[in-house]
Amino acid sequence: MSNNGKRVAWVTGGGSGIGEAGAKALAADGWTVVVSGRRKDALDAVVATIGKSSGTAKAIPLDVSVAADVEKAAEEILAAYGRIDLLVSSAGINVPKRRWADMELEGWNKLVDINLNGVLYCMRAVLPAMRAQQDGAIINVASWAGRHVSKMPGPGYTTTKHAVLALTHSFNMDECVNGLRACCLSPGEVATPILQQRPVVPSEQEQAKMLQPEDLGRTIAFVASLPPRVCVNEILISPTWNRGFIQTPANRD
Strand, coil or helix: 238: coil
- What is the rounded distance in angstroms from the CA atom of residue 210 to the CA atom of residue 178? 37
Q: One of 12, 157, 190, 238 is an active-site residue; which one?
A: 157
- Would you give the distance in Å from CA 206 to the centre of its chain? 23
DSSP state of 144: G
- What is the rounded distance in angstroms from the CA atom of residue 92 to the CA atom of residue 112? 10
Question: Is residue 93 within 8 Å of 114, Cβ to Cβ?
Answer: yes
DSSP state of 89: E
Is 121 known to be catalytic?
Answer: no
Look at strands 180-187 and 234-237 and give their pairing: parallel
Measured from the Cβ of residue 136, the count of other Cβ atoms closer than 10 Å reads 23
One-letter amino acid for residue 8 of the chain:
V
Element (H, E) at 47: helix 40-52
Length of the chain: 253
Q: Which residues are catalytic?
A: 157
